[in-house]
């Protein structure tokens, strides 16, 4: 599987999600939220390799670990820090950038891109270490927020949620993978080489390949040696409220998603409290997973109001609706 992920943080503490997308030649690392203590289990070298940090929203339990991240990454010359979040992200992060004394930064070059996501656009501002991050430069504006990142191997899309303020969920989709069966190729007395780009690139199936392709028709050779593997996907949803209609809306958005990482702040008996604080109950999380027909539901973001017996027992509530619900492995 080309998508690997790790739940960060302990039960009844702040939680976050680290997603690794492997292309076979390189690795992308995407971090979703940055609560207190969430990065403690990650090595410095891995923190330096994180390509994008996405915030669901900027409440302190989702941003309190930012100092550790920024301390590791404020000085990455040639590799920009890239941050994403809802309305207010630009202002809050610039305050965080400037919340330190900068007097040894002369001659140091490093950039931060802060993307503010709205339903109708994404605005990006750039900040420079050599300016002590004091100046907000207009960098780019996209007229759509449907697709945040589009790499050859994967995409990231937002889902707008209601937490009494804007909260954003994220879906990482791995694109279809084209694999060439080298054994089948050898059975046809063909040798691997640069010419295989013609197979990966597709094109007119009636194209006749040159000597390295045995003079075969492109469409015939693709049929014989190429297999297409559907990409995996993972969704991260936290800190929001739903009604039955919104569950159906989310289920449509999540169709085909393999893994769902979803908050489970309250037990179903505390639905009134969940509504008041704009959070889900564990049964609502399970209903979303069931209607979306995901393969895997991992529950996070458990309230501190419950005893360990209570929050562990809540898993049975979820399993009654979605049998494949679980907690993170290290919570067991």
Residue 234 lies in a domain: no
Task: Say whether both 94 and 210 belong to one domain.
Answer: no
Separation between Cα atoms, residue 156 and residue 115, nearest integer Å: 13
Task: Say whether both 205 and 130 belong to one domain.
Answer: no
Task: Say whether both 186 and 109 belong to one domain.
Answer: no
Residue 199 lies in a domain: yes
Predicted TM-score (pTM) of the model is 0.89
Task: Say whether both 33 and 127 belong to one domain.
Answer: yes
Task: Say whether both 144 and 205 belong to one domain.
Answer: no
Burial zone of 45 (CB within 10 Å; 0-12 exposed, 13-18 middle, 19+ buried): exposed
Residues found in the chain: 332
Query: What is residue 197's predicted lDDT score, i.e. its pLDDT?
Result: 77
Task: Say whether both 274 and 126 belong to one domain.
Answer: no
Low-confidence ranges of the chain (pLDDT < 50): 1
Residue 74 lies in a domain: yes
Query: What is residue 1's predicted lDDT score, i.e. its pLDDT?
Result: 47
Two tokens at 115?
């993307």
Q: What's the total number of domains in the chain? A: 3
Residue 7 lies in a domain: yes
CATH number, residue 118: 3.60.15.10
Q: Catalytic residue among 14, 61, 239, 270, which?
A: 61
- How crowded is the C-beta side of 144, counted as CA atoms within 13 Å? 5
Phi, then psi, of 214 in degrees rounded to 5: 70, 15
296 is catalytic: no
The strand pairing partners of 121, in sequence order, are 118
Cα–Cα distances in angstroms (integers) from residue 144 to residues 56, 82, 157, 252, 267, in the given order: 18, 18, 11, 20, 37
How far, rounded to the nearest angstrom, does the alpha carbon of residue 62 sit from its chain's CA centroid? Answer: 15
Domain boundary (125, 155, 173) is at 173
Task: Say whether both 221 and 256 belong to one domain.
Answer: no
Task: Say whether both 47 and 151 belong to one domain.
Answer: yes
Domain of 31 in residue numbering reads as 1-173
Task: Measure CA of the first residue to CA of the last residue in the chain; give whole Å.
Answer: 23
Using the structure block, give the residue that is written with the tokens 């400037």: 98
Query: What is residue 24's predicted lDDT score, i.e. its pLDDT?
Result: 74
Query: What is residue 226's predicted lDDT score, i.e. its pLDDT?
Result: 83
Task: Say whether both 313 and 278 belong to one domain.
Answer: yes
- Structure confidence by residue, pLDDT tens digits, 12-24: 999 999 999 987 7
Residue 235 lies in a domain: no
Task: Say whether both 11 and 146 belong to one domain.
Answer: yes
CB atoms inside a 10 Å sphere around CB 78? 7
Task: Say whether both 127 and 218 belong to one domain.
Answer: no
Task: Say whether both 210 and 266 belong to one domain.
Answer: no
Separation between Cα atoms, residue 177 and residue 180, nearest integer Å: 10
What angle (nearest 5°) sits at the alpha carbon of residue 282, between those of residues 278 and 285?
80
């Amino acid at each position: 599987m080309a998508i690997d992920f790790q739940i960060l943080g302990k039960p009844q503490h702040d939680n976050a999600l680290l997603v690794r997308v492997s292309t076979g030649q390189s690795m992308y690392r995407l971090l979703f939220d940055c609560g207190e203590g969430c990065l403690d289990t990650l090595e410095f070298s891995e923190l330096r390799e994180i390509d994008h940090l996405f915030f669901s929203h900027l409440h302190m339990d989702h941003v309190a670990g930012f100092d550790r991240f920024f301390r590791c990454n404020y000085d990455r010359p040639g590799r920009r820090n890239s941050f994403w979040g809802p309305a207010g992200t630009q202002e809050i992060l610039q305050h965080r950038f400037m919340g330190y004394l900068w007097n040894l930064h002369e001659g140091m070059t490093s950039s931060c891109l802060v993307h503010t996501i709205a339903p109708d656009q994404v605005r990006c501002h750039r900040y420079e270490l050599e300016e002590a991050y004091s100046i907000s430069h207009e960098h780019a504006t996209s007229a759509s927020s449907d697709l945040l990142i589009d790499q050859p191997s994967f995409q990231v899309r937002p889902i707008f949620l209601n937490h009494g303020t804007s909260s954003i969920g994220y879906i990482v989709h791995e694109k279809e993978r084209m694999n060439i069966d080298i054994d089948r190729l050898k059975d046809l007395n063909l040798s691997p080489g640069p010419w295989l780009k013609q197979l990966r690139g597709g094109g007119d199936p009636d194209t006749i390949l040159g000597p390295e392709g045995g003079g075969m028709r492109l469409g015939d050779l693709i049929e014989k040696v190429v297999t297409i593997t559907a990409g995996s996907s993972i969704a991260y949803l936290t800190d929001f409220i739903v009604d039955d209609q919104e569950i159906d809306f989310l289920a449509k958005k999540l169709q085909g998603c393999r893994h769902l990482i979803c908050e489970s702040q309250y037990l179903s008996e505390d639905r009134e409290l969940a509504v008041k604080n704009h959070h889900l109950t564990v049964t609502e999380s399970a209903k979303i997973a069931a209607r979306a027909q995901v393969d895997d539901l991992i529950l996070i973001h458990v309230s501190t109001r419950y005893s360990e017996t209570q929050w562990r027992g809540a898993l049975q509530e979820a399993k009654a609706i979605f049998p494949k619900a679980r907690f993170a492995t290290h919570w067991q």
